[in-house]
Each structure stands twice: as structure tokens, then as C-alpha cells.
Copies of this chain bind each other. A is one copy, B any other.
């Protein structure tokens, strides 16, 4: 069975799991952005029917899982596992959001790489024969993230030009051993990369080296080139991080300009909505994937996507103690063909 491993980081799935259902939910700002039409649910305020923002974030996870199940004609009992996490301390968005479902649960912490990490592990569990169906999901919330990582929103702190805007959004993708695609054909697991960036207001720069590390490993180990993909999407590097990744690859003689974008550049109208360097948060790549991207794949707008969410593994405490920002990026390949051969 060891032949599944193409290299240190990449596995080619021998029985590629299929997307069975997907859903995403967002708040007010997401509903005013260019991807509004791709959301299954949009809530006019940031509480999602709950009393606090943290409870609102849990409500988002609950609602988005319910919606994904409903769209697939499924019940919680159909899922053998759910793999999820979020940005909140002790991942309470997830644990309180999922507690009523009684689905066997593996809790993850991958910061904004969580959508990639959860898809990677769900795919491996299904390909390994341990699950028939599994859910992968995550969320983030502007107001919970601001008060936890930076300042409470009502303080009205000024944001740096390199700052990104944490998405109030959640996405859920249900994978299954059976289905009509898109399929996950490859998983490239990330490593922790830390190039010494310490500016917590410039996450794009901190995470770009991790994105480069994982994408480079993917190309090296699969023997594929960037042009083998209709679209390459990193998580939430934003405008700056996206440029840095393109620069890194240009040094290697690879031109990513034609087909490389970042989820953080897509969720909002950056100028019109005054979003500085772009969107961020676990919910950014989760919502972009589980709406715009997967719907586009089903409509054959794209046939093969390399999806690579990036996460910054810092905490306010580590920054206060002068530490730099370790980052990680987990990548999966979505394809409309079951490409088991390569």
C-alpha cells in the first residue's frame, strides 16, 4: 500500500472520495461581496440568532452542517466522522456548534488552514476504508476574532494597510466513498514553516512561505506543473501574500500569473468594501470553496483545482512574548475526473 505516497508530503488516493454535498453561510459583509450569490445562507446581523458572537459562531457551524446534510438528503447518522475546528480559544465555535449531532468527532487546530486539513484527513479516512462518509468544516467570525486576537470591535482601532478582514463565514463539505464528483485525488500535507516574520498585522507575508513550501512539494512530488490546474487557490494570504508566493515561484522559473488566485482576494470587493489586503479567517477559504468553487466545478467552469488553505499558528501570547509566526498550508486536489492513476 506504500505506493500511495508519492513523496514526503503527497498521497495519491487510490479510490478518490467524492464531494457528496456542500454548503456555506455568511454574514452581512459577505452578503455585500461579489460571491453573495454562492452562499446558501446569509444572515443580516452577526449574531445568527444567538446572544453572543461566540454563540453566533457556533450557530453558524450548526446551521451550515444542517444545510449541507439537507442539500445531500442526509441525516447526521449518515456521517461516520466529522472533522472540524476554528480560530477561537479551545475551538469553542466547533465544540458547541457540533455537540447536538452525536457524530464521531475529531477536533482539529490548523488556524486558517483548517478547511484543507479537515478535507485532507476526511479523504484519507474514506480512502483507507474507515468511513463511508465524513464531514469537513470550519468557521470564523469577524467580531470573535477581533476581540480575541486584536481589540474589541467597539474600540474602533485603526487597521494597518496590510491587515486582512476576518470573514464571518462557515463552510461544510461532505465527502463520500461513492458519488459523482468532484473527487479529491491528492492530499499534500503541510509542514510548519517559520521564516521569522513577527508582524501580526501582516499575516500574508507570514504565511506565504508555508504556501510556497506546500505547493512546491506538491508539484515536485506529483510531477505536475502549475498549468496542469485550471485554478490554484491559496487560503487567505490576501493581496500581499499572493504576490509573495508568485515571486517565490518566479525565482524557480514558474509563472503562476495565469491561474493562481487567493481566496482572500475573492470574498470581498477589496476597494469597494475597504478591505485592505483582503479577507482572512478559516471561514474565508471554507466559504469560497463550499460555494463559488465547488459549484463552478459542478458546472464545469473548472475541471481541476489545487486548493491550498494557509494558517498562521500564532497566538496573542506568543506575539507578546516576541515570537515569530509559524505557519502551515494543507493542499488537496479537486478534480472532475477520478484520476487514480497518477
Q: Which residues of A contact B (CB under 8 A)?
A: 1-2, 4-5, 8-9, 11, 51-52, 54-55, 77, 80-81, 85, 87-92, 95-96, 98-99, 101-111, 117, 120-121, 124-125, 127-132, 189-194, 313-318, 321, 323, 326, 328
Contacts and interface: CB of A to CB of B under 8 A. Distances in A.
Contacts of A8: 77, 80, 104
A100 to B, nearest CB: 8
Contact of A318 (B80, B96, B121): B96
A313 B92 contact: yes
A161 to B, nearest CB: 25
A185 to B, nearest CB: 14
Given A91-B109, A127-B128, A104 B9 contact: yes
| Copies of this chain assembled into the complex | 2
* Residue of A98, A111, A130 most packed against chain B (CB within 10 A): A130
A244 to B, nearest CB: 19
B105 A5 contact: no
Contacts of A108: 106-109
A319 B123 CA distance: 34
A53 to B, nearest CB: 10
A132 B2 contact: yes
A269 to B, nearest CB: 30
A130 B129 contact: no
A104 B189 contact: yes
A49 to B, nearest CB: 15
Given A89-B315, A108-B109, A321 B190 contact: no
Nearest to A144: B317
A307 to B, nearest CB: 17
Given A80-B5, A130-B128, A192-B98, A313 B104 contact: no
A90 B2 contact: no
Given A106-B108, A130-B128, A99 B9 contact: no
Contacts of A129: 1-2, 4, 128
